[in-house]
Amino acid sequence: MEGQNPILMMIKGNLTRPSWAFLFLVFTGATLFAIQITKKSGFPIEPFFSGDGKNSGLSGQVRQESCSGFFTEGPPRKVMKSIVEFGGVGDGKTSNTVAFRRAMEYMENFREKGGSQLNVPRGRWLTGSFNLTSNFTLFLEEGAVVLGSQDPKEWPIVEPLPSYGRGRERLGGRHISLIHGNNLTNVVITGKNGTIDGQGKMWWDLWWNRTLEYTRGHLVELISSHNILIFNLTFLNSPFWTVHPVYCSNVVIRKMTILAPLTAPNTDGIDPDSSMNICIEDCYIESGDDLVAVKSGWDQYGIAMARPSSNIIIRRVSGTTPTCSGVGIGSEMSGGISNIMVEDMHIRDSAAGVRIKTDKGRGGYIANITINNITMERVKIPIRFSRGANDHPDEDWDHKALPKVKGIIISNLISMDSKKAPLLEGIEDSPFEDICIRNVSILGLASPSSAKWNCAFVSGFSFGVFPNPCYQLKNNVSSSWCSNSEKQR
């Protein structure tokens, strides 16, 4: 394997456990990164690689695996300014939209001249949306709170994403995200656990009242961007999906707390979309939708664009969502999804734990998904493969566009106080194949009927599963890849 990138090797094929060479690379990279972060750099936060995902520093800690190497730190920013220097007022009432936009216009001048950093000090900084620039750091000091404007006009309308063809909720355009970027490189959004609060209730009410004119905006959306770090912040009350990297590469989202009321509609935590080399780890999420959802475009628009999501690692994420899943693959997956590793998750009080979502008309594929070491508490349906609910962008979707689902490994999963056994529903004309379920225990089921697996149009293998799985997963012929998958990790 000489000459190949060990990070990419880790997530290729069957996503086997990285070699000692890779672990040495991670250790070396962490050490160099820690050395380079100084007060002089303007990036005075703890190193990526803390031992337990909570405490800063490396001394005395047991090092955990990390995919933070997807992000490459650049040289220190040449210019650092405070939002106060652009007229910002942190009283929670004064609009700072002009100040933030003026600041970003100034920072744009340094994208090719050493880069820049905008510091947001302690205070409550009300603002409408603003666009980031390349070679840039947005740094929130301790006690800094950025508040989303309550005026919809300060969230301008932008074109729909080409892989969706329209706004996800309404025809036509969509509101821009509060913090936005397009065609950027080398961007950091971080701080000393400062807060970005979208104040989404206004938007949720419009959704509930069916009075939305355009699709709601995200809290943070980065489009067609590369080498991005979002780290050590709290995100609250997003109007719609909270963090949405789309058509991006080499994105690290780490040590984030993402919160929304459990009844807030469609407030997904993190949704990588048509993106590759994505690292999501050490995050806590509470939301009214999926904690993490991997996507890649919607029906004929996603098929035409053909931008897959691939090489994505989701690790040490915990949280709750009463209506959706801890991790969802789909349902918008028409550009294809492959090489996804999910491990060390803790999901509680949720409708579903692990969910694969697709439907007729989607096309595309879901392949080579590895889900390992998952703990669930009071999750209604721990494992669910499901079809959609006739959810299509318009009448031009292709009824013959069938998704291909193959190669799903779910291992070392325990669900306590469960309500129902797994529900695995494939598609009649395109069955889900090579499903491997091993070392899985679904506990707390109250009756024989609730302990019965429900499967249709799926095939695969199972080992060490309780309660007994459906007959479609009892085909142990040529299943050595499944029985040996644990040894390969």
Find the distance separating the first CA and the last CA of the chain, reported in whole Å. Answer: 18
* pLDDT value for 476: 56
* pLDDT value for 483: 75
| Amino acid at position 80, single letter | M
Side-chain-side CA neighbours of 51 within 13 Å: the count stands at 7
CA–centroid distance for 112 within its chain: 30
Distance of alpha carbon 460 from alpha carbon 126, whole angstroms? 53
Catalytic residue among 197, 282, 289, 434: 289
Distance of alpha carbon 415 from alpha carbon 231, whole angstroms? 30
- 260 forms bridges with which residues in the sheet? none
Q: Which residues of 215-229 are buried (b: 16+ CB within 10 A; e: fewer)?
A: bbbbbbbbbbbbbbb
Structure tokens at 303: 């098929």
Structure tokens at 96: 């700072």
Distance of alpha carbon 88 from alpha carbon 95, whole angstroms? 8
* 394 counts as catalytic: no
Distance of alpha carbon 87 from alpha carbon 326, whole angstroms? 42
Phi/psi of residue 330, nearest 5 degrees: 105, -160
* pLDDT value for 387: 84
* pLDDT value for 2: 38
* pLDDT value for 485: 61
Answer yes or no: are the C-beta atoms of 472 and 432 closer than 8 Å: no
* pLDDT value for 405: 98
Per-residue pLDDT of the chain (489 residues; tens, 9 = 90+): 434 333 333 333 333 333 434 433 433 444 333 333 333 334 433 333 332 323 223 233 445 799 999 999 999 999 999 999 999 999 999 999 999 999 999 999 999 999 999 999 999 999 999 999 999 999 999 999 999 999 999 999 999 999 999 999 999 999 999 999 999 999 999 999 999 999 999 999 999 999 999 999 999 999 999 999 999 999 999 999 999 999 999 999 999 999 999 999 999 999 999 999 999 999 999 999 999 999 999 999 999 999 999 999 999 999 999 999 999 999 999 999 999 999 999 999 999 999 999 999 999 999 999 999 999 999 999 999 998 778 999 999 999 999 999 999 999 999 999 999 999 999 999 999 999 999 999 999 999 999 999 999 999 999 999 999 999 998 655 567 787 765 544
| Amino acid at position 334, single letter | S
Cβ partners under 8 Å of residue 2, min gap 6: none
Answer yes or no: are the C-beta atoms of 139 and 115 closer than 8 Å: no
- Residue 166 buriedness (CB in 10 A; 0-12 / 13-18 / 19+): middle
Closest CA to 437 of 474, 386, 406: 474
The full 3-state SS of the chain, as one line of letters, equals: CCCCCHHHHHCCCCCCCCCHHHHHHHHHHHHHHHHHCCHHHCCCCCCCCCCCCCCCCCCCCCCCCCCHHHCCCCCCCCEEEEHHHHCCCCEEEEECHHHHHHHHHHHHCCCCCCCEEEEECCEEEEECCEECCCCEEEEECCCEEEEECCCHHHCCEECCCCCCCCCCCCCCCEECCCEEEECCEEEEEEECCCEEECCCHHHHHHHHCCCCCCECCCCEEEECCEEEEEECCEEECCCCCCEEEECCEEEEEECCEEECCCCCCCCCCECCECCEEEEEEEEEEECCCCCEEEECCCHHHHHHHCCCEEEEEEEEEEEECCCCEEEEECCCCCCCEEEEEEEEEEEECCCEEEEEEECCCCCCEEEEEEEEEEEEECCCEEEEEEECCCCCCCCCCCCCCCCEEEEEEEEEEEEECCCCCCEEECECCECEEEEEEEEEEECCCCCCCCCCCEEECEEEEEEEEECCCCHHHCCCCCCHHHHCHHHHC
* pLDDT value for 60: 36
Closest CA to 190 of 246, 259, 95, 120: 120
